[in-house]
Amino acid sequence: MGKTLFDKVWEAHTVRELPNGMTQLLIGTHLIHEVTSPQAFGMLRDLQLKVLYPHRTFATVDHIVPTDEREEPFSDALADAMIKELRKNCDDFGIKFFDISSGKQGIVHIVGPEQGITQPGTTIACGDSHTSTHGAFGAVAFGIGTSQVRDVLATQTMALRKPDVRRIEVDGKLSPGVYAKDVILHIIRKLGVNGGLGYAYEYAGSTFDNFTQEERMTVCNMSIEGGARVGYVNPDQTTFDYLRGRPYAPAQENYDAAIARWKSFASDKDASYGDLVKYAASDIGPTVTWGINPGQAIFIDENIPSPEQLAEKDRSTAEEAYAHMKLRPGQPIKGTKIDVAFLGSCTNARLSDLMEVAKYLKGKKAKGGVKAIVVPGSQSVAAVAESMGLAEIFREAGFEWRGAGCSMCLAMNPDKLIGDQLCASSSNRNFKGRQGSPTGRTVLMSPLMVAAAAVTGEISDAREIFGLS
Amino acid sequence: MALPRISQIAGTGVYVPGDDVDTDRIIPARFMKCVTFDGLGEYAFYDERFEEDGRPKAHPIDNPKYAGATILLGGRNFGCGSSREHAPQALYRHGFRAVLAESFAEIFFGNAITLGMPCLVMDGRDIRALAALIDEAPQAEINIDIPNNQVSIADISFPAVLPDHAREALVNGRWDAIADLLEGLETVKATADKLPYMRAA
């Protein structure tokens, strides 16, 4: 019987079995940011421990960073204290920090891949649940809590229990106007927000084979929204081509050897899985959420489900969702007025996302009264986008072009919804209060759908607005 | 780093109904602008407890009837979403010492165990039955018997389970893994030496 990539990576990184039956697993790459690491460094100091492999930890600042006024000190004293604390911790422990002045700062899950730090056959951890993003490269990547950040700093390992692997195959070609974001929203809608509990997700099939690395990242990113802590795609030529020449990728003279090693981690043809589900790409349409978790999603041309259309276990959350979202069951989602359009986050703020939107947005304008912002995922993304003239296209369309960070995905910086504003958002969570106002409302969708909503001022079908067919 | 063995927990309870209670709800992100976990307790469930102008919303954990509750009852997929340890830290610092729910999100579960705050899974009907008993007698003591996978109130008992590894860790006082992990350092180095990407550049 063959093995999955997950099995092989797990085996190669197993240190030993712990007395309680968990595995002590080596975490080769540790990514840290300002929100979940300061307490971990505090614990490290209390225990008088050092960072075991400082050269395998990489830091950046993303959650609290302002996207407009970026000069220090930040106007928010708490945010200012947090960036300074991270800078000090990186200095004290010899950790590489992609600081704002580096020109390489950005959302940690965008910086890792673009620097070539994220590699196949490796284990990665970060104190952020969207660490699953890195699985797009055939890495096994875990979101962790702060005590585990401490564990990884001090021992380069964590105590983990091995999950089962569920293979999710999507086959065929997506229709025009349907994107990787729609694929993952569809998967979560079908399997539920807790359907992935106890599983690592392996995404496969011809749809994934034909995806770019950035599209694979969008899908892996939201694995956790389906309850799966880990999601990955087997590495292939697309992966190797993406990584070649990046700053932390293996040097050119060693690259062929690296590819051979990386390929050896891919799942065997006869690997066994805990579960297997299949979807057809042609069945997936532009998808938007209507509720307060990412599984409460429908196609743009569907109506908001009524309680009797839902499984009994989903009804009470649906009632809570109608009330919070101020939406009525049985009504179309299309045509719902929006106040804010947010194009950003670790799900959808990479260059390809901005290019795709700019292609259609060029010459169009955001509707008066809609606050539209673009927050590139990293300074590197921003720089390339600016040199390509994308920033100008967005500005001319009435979007604010901002500096890199997490921004309105979780609103730990000054970018927040106000009152019960409704936001068309390319981010990953529509939880109550997620975008900074307890009564704020979030509708998740693909970047092009965000642009369509910005242009019309209401939730719209991007295929109609931009003439895709 | 000897840790207390956690096998019996006694206290009164409070039921916070609802499925998919995410960690943004347990601790809104704006309260994570901090470099220590101190003081997080007062912000547990903050936006569920208070209107934007600060008026209380009559949340169960503020109901005087359940004052002093140390055992939290919840629904399905409790603690989903963000990996923020601030969520179990806020609950712990608010005074909770155990959570009973239909199921838990994986990262929240691990974070809570590492704090020594057991999260036990119960059948949904049992949760609601227990909640009804608490409602009738809010000051009745609930006893959580971890080795025997059982929760009882007065003379009524319900099954409440932990996965084996978590039960072992709690009852043996090894719920914070750091001591075990440090004991394996020699083997860590040997494992790392076999992986080319672990070498210093």
Nearest-CB residue to B177 (from A159, A320, A410): A159
Chain A residue closest in CA terms to B187: A15
Structural domain includes residue A291: yes
Mutate to test the interface with A, among B188, B194, B199 (most CBs of A within 10 A): B188
Q: Are residues A190 and A308 in the same domain?
A: no
Do the Cβ atoms of B20 and B80 come closer than 8 Å?
A: yes
For residue B200, the model assigns a pLDDT of 81
For chain B, say whether A38 makes contact (Cβ under 8 Å): yes
Residues A326 and A445 occupy one common structural domain:
yes
Q: What is the pLDDT of residue A469?
A: 78
pLDDT tens profile B165-180: 999 999 999 999 999 9
Residue contact B198–A429, C-beta within 8 A: no
Same domain for A419 and A304: yes
- Alpha carbons A320 and B40: distance in angstroms, whole number: 26
pLDDT score at A287: 98
Q: Does one domain contain both A340 and A405?
A: yes
Do residues A168 and A270 share a domain? yes
- A120 to chain B, any CB pair closer than 8 A? The answer is no
Residue span of the structural domain in which A231 resides: 164-235+260-283
Instruction: Count structural domains, chain A.
Output: 3
Say yes or no for a CB contact (<8 Å) between A154 and B181.
Answer: yes
Query: Is A255 part of any domain?
Result: no
Q: CATH code at A419? A: 3.30.499.10
> Are the Cβ atoms of A147 and B52 closer than 8 angstroms?
no
Domain assignment present for A243? no
A15 contacts in chain B (CB < 8 Å): 184, 187-188, 191
What are the residue ranges in chain A where pLDDT is below 50?
Answer: none
The verdict on residue A248 lying in a domain is no
Residues A321 and A458 both lie in one domain? yes
Same domain membership, residue A134 and residue A211:
no
Cβ contact B197–A122 (<8 Å): yes
> Residue A346 domain-assigned?
yes
User: Phi, psi at residue B189, to the nearest 5°?
Assistant: -65, -40
Residue A245 domain-assigned (yes or no):
no
The two three-digit tokens of residue B162, written as one number: 């932990």
Question: Cβ of A369 under 8 Å from any chain B Cβ?
Answer: no
Provide the 3-class DSSP secondary structure of residue B58: coil
- Strand-strand pairing, A297-299 and A287-289: antiparallel
Listed residue (A324, A316, A387, A325) closest to A358, CA to CA: A387
Q: Where are the domains of chain B?
A: 8-175
CATH number at residue A184: 3.40.1060.10
Q: Are residues A136 and A185 in the same domain?
A: no
Is there a contact between A119 and B52 if contact means CB atoms under 8 Å apart?
A: no
In a domain, A186, yes or no: yes
* Tokens representing residue B115 in the block: 């704090």
CA B148, CA B171: separation in Å to the nearest integer? Answer: 11
Taking the CA of residue A126 and the nearest CA in chain B, the distance in Å comes to 9
In a shared domain, residues A213 and A91: no
CA distance A94 to chain B (A): 13
pLDDT for position A28: 98
Q: Are residues A279 and A394 in the same domain?
A: no
B178, A20: Cβ pair inside 8 Å? no
Do A454 and A322 lie in one domain? The reply is yes
Question: Which CATH topology does B8-175 take?
Answer: Aconitase; domain 4 (3.20.19)
Same domain flag for A351 and A425? yes
Neighbours of A45 (CB within 10 A): 12
* Domain final residue pick, A145, A160, A175: A160
Longest dimension (CA), chain B: 65
pLDDT at B201 > cutoff 70: no
Q: Identify the band that residue B2 occupies on the pLDDT scale cut at 50, 70 and 90.
A: confident
B132 CB-near residues (< 8 Å, 6+ apart):
none
Does some domain include residue A251?
no
Mean pLDDT confidence for B139-161: 97
Q: Distance (Å, rounded) from C-alpha B66 to C-alpha B75?
A: 18
